Structure 1
Amino acid sequence: MPPYLTTYIIAIVVIIILFSSFVTVKQGTIAVITIFGKYQRILTPGLNFKIPLIEVIHTRISIQNRSVELEFQAVTYDQANVYFKAMLLYSVLDQQEETIKNVAFKFVDERNLMQALVRTVEGSIRAFVATKRQADVLILRRDIVEHVKEQLDNILEGWGYHLQDLQLNDITFDDIIMKSMSQVVASNNLKAAAENEGQALLITKTKAAEAEGNAIKISAEAERQAAQLRGQGIALFREEVAKGMTVAAKEMQQANMDTSVILFTMWTESIKHFSENSTGNVIFLDGSVDGLQRTMKETMGLNLLGEDKVKK
């Protein structure tokens, strides 16, 4: 072999070895170095140096958040099937060397890790749901998530991972259960509407009764005041009549005239007033001499009573 060819080959080998000594690790990734299959060290993001032909990159581990969607079934305490659709968000616990070793060597590959992680989450949720009734599952969404996190934190920490979040996007039941739940909700809504309508009607009736009672009170008070005023008016009228009759009687006595003429005049005026203002068609009067005398006496008695009041 010509000497220049040997030199050329050696130069190529040196260049290859030189280039293989430098390793670029992407941001968000950590490389695990082994020597003859045994863990040696880790390489952080950036340009790194490794011993060529001896140190080998065993795996590259992403320290970024990762997500996976889950679909599984659980059974409640009262034997109802519950169907879950969930999203699992997880990541490497930290960048410590011991954590990275757990992530790199705990599982054979990524597929085995995902299988264990998914089955662990599903098992935790199934165990929790199995102790609850179907009617309570929908309102326990947050409790389910907290239960799963509490159960898995220690397990995942041993694998080098941390559960960031678990979102239960959808919780459904069998069609017949969904229909019955809809009927229950509809009946409860109708019941609530009926109760609200009854309360509104009760309030309306109560307010109407209160208003009617207040109107009756006001009307009664007005009637009482009107009756009082009418009584006062009649009393004043009688008082004025008595005064007028007294004055007229004195004047007629001074003129030596019979005072009974006044009473007769008042009696005839009363008859005229009856005929003009009465709503009836017939007026019965006692026109006999005895009846007239009796009426005169009664009228004179009223006259004397009025005079006594005036004197008092």
Structure 2
Amino acid sequence: MNFVLLPFIILGLVILISSFFIVKQQTAAIIERFGRFQSIRQSGLQLKIPLVDKVAGKLSLKIQQLDVIIETKTLDDVFVRLKVSVQYKVIKLKVYDAFYKLDYPHEQITSYVFDVVRAEVPKMKLDDVFVKKDDIALAVKAELNDAMLDYGFDIIKTLVTDIDPDSQVKQAMNRINASEREKIAAQFEGDAARILIVEKAKAEAESKRLQGQGIADQRREIARGLEESVEVLNRVGINSQEASALIVVTQHYDTLQSLGEETNSNLILLPNAPQAGSNMLNDMVASFAASNQIGEAMKAAKKKKE
């Protein structure tokens, strides 16, 4: 008797167990009864009628990402490959639309991405594609939101994650970039060289100015010293001409003494006498007197002519 009931007991246990099913977190299950939509079950332990109800499918409510690679041409006839990443999710309140209205949502999203990118990129030059990639992403998102909202999908974000021109174009761009950098480096080097030349010239001019000022100060002090020496000699009864001759002779011997102190000097002194200094002074005085006479004569002639 027990052996006769055993199959029925086992069948009852199987039916009872099959009445329960589990839906994971962030997942929605679609229940159909005899092939017709019955209900949507959320996460947790759920119950269905055995042999009548079945789980037709499950949809993830998590954010998903779809990467789409598109090859298109820019305004300046450069072929470029773009990788557009679309982040989307199923709207919790529109699980029915997401499950029954679209069989292949990935293909649908891919088609819209292709359509938008191939409409936007041919309007731009290659450089603008890199600069305005965010504008392309926004255009894709706007188009997808309008199209996919009715199907129960929410487009969270679209990103242009890669822009890959043809290899020859990339090499040309790298050469252009390198040339620009070399040009800038040459300009900086030229500016630096010009600054060094200007600063060196300024330093030399300042050095000459200070040197001239030093020579002028030296001569001024020498003249002041000679004036004081003449005044001292005048006080002891020596007139100015005799005092000048004495100073010249003294400086003459001081010069000879300083030359004699140079041990490594190759200077050869020709024969000379003490009166050489006096003669030089007399010649200088005579030339000054002659110059004054000529100057006075020229002034007189000019006045007479006027």
Fold agreement, TM-score > 0.5: yes
What is the SS of the residue equivalent to 1:82? strand
Alignment of 1:17-56 (within 5 A): 17-56=15-54
Is residue 82–residue 160 contact of structure 2 (8 Å, CA) maintained in 1?
Answer: yes
- For residues 75 and 179 of structure 1, the distance between their equivalents in structure 2, rounded to whole angstroms, comes to 18
The 3 A distance-change label for structure 1 pair 224 and 147 is farther
The 3 A distance-change label for structure 1 pair 266 and 190 is closer
* Residue 121 of structure 1, aligned match among 85, 88, 113: 113
Is residue 234–residue 243 contact of structure 2 (8 Å, CA) maintained in 1?
Answer: no
What is the SS of the residue equivalent to 2:123? coil
Task: Report the identity percentage.
Answer: 23
Q: Match of 1:215? A: 207
The 3 A distance-change label for structure 1 pair 264 and 180 is closer
Is residue 32–residue 54 contact of structure 2 (8 Å, CA) maintained in 1?
Answer: yes
Q: Which amino acid in 1 is paired with 2:236?
A: G
Alignment of 1:101-112 (within 5 A): 101-108=96-103, 112=104
Q: Which amino acid in 1 is paired with 2:96?
A: K
* Residue 59 of structure 1, aligned match among 37, 57, 60: 57
Deviations 1:248-300 (A, max 9, x none): xxxxxxxxxxxxxx999879967965874577646788xxxxx9xxx9xx9xx
Alignment of 1:145-294 (within 5 A): 145-245=137-237, 276=253, 281=271
RMSD of aligned residue pairs (Cα, Å): 3.4
- For residues 270 and 224 of structure 1, the distance between their equivalents in structure 2, rounded to whole angstroms, comes to 21
| Runs of 4+ residues over 6 Å off in structure 1 | 262-268
Alignment of 1:69-84 (within 5 A): 69-84=67-82
Structure with max Cα Rg:
1
- For residues 47 and 268 of structure 1, the distance between their equivalents in structure 2, rounded to whole angstroms, comes to 132
Q: Which amino acid in 1 is paired with 2:36?
A: K
- For residues 265 and 3 of structure 1, the distance between their equivalents in structure 2, rounded to whole angstroms, comes to 164
Q: Match of 2:131? A: 139
Structure 1 position 141, deviation (Å): 3.0
For normalisation by structure 2, the TM-score amounts to 0.74
The 3 A distance-change label for structure 1 pair 28 and 268 is closer
Is residue 112–residue 143 contact of structure 2 (8 Å, CA) maintained in 1?
Answer: no
- For residues 195 and 265 of structure 1, the distance between their equivalents in structure 2, rounded to whole angstroms, comes to 69
The 3 A distance-change label for structure 1 pair 26 and 222 is same
- For residues 235 and 109 of structure 2, the distance between their equivalents in structure 1, rounded to whole angstroms, comes to 118
Structure 1 position 9, deviation (Å): 5.0
The 3 A distance-change label for structure 1 pair 270 and 19 is closer
- Structure 2: segments with no counterpart, 5+ residues: 257-268, 277-281, 290-306
The 3 A distance-change label for structure 1 pair 59 and 236 is same
Q: Match of 1:90? A: 88
Deviations 1:171-228 (A, max 9, x none): 2222332222122111101111111111211222222222223222322332232222
The 3 A distance-change label for structure 1 pair 273 and 46 is closer
Q: Match of 1:309? A: none
What is the SS of the residue equivalent to 2:38? strand
What is the SS of the residue equivalent to 1:78? coil
What is the SS of the residue equivalent to 2:69? strand
Q: Match of 1:100? A: 95
- For residues 275 and 65 of structure 1, the distance between their equivalents in structure 2, rounded to whole angstroms, comes to 106
- For residues 249 and 155 of structure 2, the distance between their equivalents in structure 1, rounded to whole angstroms, comes to 113
- For residues 265 and 232 of structure 1, the distance between their equivalents in structure 2, rounded to whole angstroms, comes to 18
What is the SS of the residue equivalent to 1:30? strand
For normalisation by structure 1, the TM-score amounts to 0.72
Structure 1 position 76, deviation (Å): 0.7
What is the SS of the residue equivalent to 2:51? coil
Structure 1 position 12, deviation (Å): 4.2
The 3 A distance-change label for structure 1 pair 61 and 233 is same
- For residues 111 and 241 of structure 2, the distance between their equivalents in structure 1, rounded to whole angstroms, comes to 124
The 3 A distance-change label for structure 1 pair 271 and 214 is closer
- For residues 115 and 17 of structure 2, the distance between their equivalents in structure 1, rounded to whole angstroms, comes to 49
Q: Which amino acid in 2 is paired with 1:29?
A: T
